[in-house]
Amino acid sequence: MVISADDYQAFQKLLHEKSGILLGENKQYLVSSRLSSFLKEQNLTDLSALLKALTRPGNDKLLQQVIDRMTTNETLWFRDGFPFDFLINTILPEQKANNKNNINIWCAACSSGQEPYSITIALDEASRSANRHKMPMSVDIVATDISSRILEQARNAEYQSLEITRGLTPQRQSAHFDLQADGTYQLKPHLKKNVRFSTLNLMQTPYRLGGQYDVVFCRNVLIYFASDLKIKVINSIADCLKPGGYLFLGASESMPSSIERFEMVRCNPGLVYRKRP
């Protein structure tokens, strides 16, 4: 698909306004590879026709479909390792020691579910270990993403053999998944039911999640956002965190220096941010 400079700029602006995603310069190939077949399905000749269609009233569904295709959903099991270890070995025992028995965790930008399900797997393993008495009684996990298409995959909790090998040991694969006749792996039902999924666009603040959280995972999404938006999102997440609550960012992401609502805690390896009381 050939994309004119004007159409590319208009598309960049629209995507940024609606999803926060900042497409760099010269990423026409990305737009082309992600949207070409969709445009054919929609009988739209090119990006210019899509932009016109998006300006018509009642275009919400089309816009959602475009955002679904433009998001980068790269994820894996137990990504970076330390957030899951620190959650199980430090945060949850600390909460339990403070007589908190019901913990709320929010995975913002959860993609196809590997992040929230890694948490349920880690919790399940901890509940069978010698340290089980250090775990709070109940842990509620809410997982959100802007893409309704990726959330559908997350809800199904069914993974291809290539996906299952990315971050899961063979022991974990056989302990927590059922191999199905078609060669896909289904997460065991008791783990699947521990996560509630819903659509949430991090651009739309304040977040109406109906509660305050003890721990938030917001990893590998803010890298796609401009710095002013990143500040707005982190402040809005802070509004949803209880005092003393923890925020995990991606391993390559850092807290903007203008935000003073968090203190940095070293996990060795890695970092987590604790909301100041």
Ligand X SMILES: C[S@@+](CC[C@H](N)C(=O)[O-])C[C@H]1O[C@@H](n2cnc3c(N)ncnc32)[C@H](O)[C@@H]1O
Residue from 3, 7, 15, 21 that binds ligand X (CB under 6 A)?
21
CB-wise, 81 or 250, nearer to ligand X? 250
Residue 146 makes contact with ligand X by CB under 6 A:
yes
CB-wise, 70 or 91, nearer to ligand X? 70
Half-sphere exposure of 21 (CA within 13 A, CB side): 24
Whole-Å CA distances, 201 to 12, 21, 99, 152, 198: 17, 11, 33, 16, 10
Number of neighbouring beta carbons within 10 Å of residue 246: 25
Residue 216 makes contact with ligand X by CB under 6 A:
no
Cα–Cα distance between 192 and 69 in angstroms, integer? 25
Cα–Cα distance between 60 and 39 in angstroms, integer? 16
CB-wise, 243 or 269, nearer to ligand X? 269
Residue 74 makes contact with ligand X by CB under 6 A:
yes
Q: Which residues 26-45 are close enough to bind ligand X by CB under 6 A?
A: none
CB-wise, 73 or 186, nearer to ligand X? 73
Residue 163 makes contact with ligand X by CB under 6 A:
no
Q: Do strands 158-159 and 241-249 pair parallel, antiparallel, or not at all (unpaired)?
A: unpaired
| Rounded to 5°, angle at Cα 117 from 76 and 158 | 75
CB-wise, 109 or 135, nearer to ligand X? 109
Residue 118 makes contact with ligand X by CB under 6 A:
no
Cα–Cα distance between 154 and 159 in angstroms, integer? 9
* Of residues 54, 134, 62, the one with CA closest to residue 95: 134
DSSP 164: H
Residue 71 makes contact with ligand X by CB under 6 A:
yes
Residue from 50, 79, 234, 271 that binds ligand X (CB under 6 A)?
79
* Tokens representing residue 268 in the block: 């060795």
Residue 201 makes contact with ligand X by CB under 6 A:
yes
Judged by CB under 6 A, which stretch of 54-62, 205-213, 215-223, 237-245 contacts ligand X? 215-223
Residue from 15, 66, 136, 145 that binds ligand X (CB under 6 A)?
145
DSSP 56: S
Residue from 72, 131, 161, 227 that binds ligand X (CB under 6 A)?
72
Q: Give the binding site for ligand X (CB under 6 A).
A: 19-21, 71-75, 79, 109-111, 115, 145-147, 150, 201-203, 219-221, 250
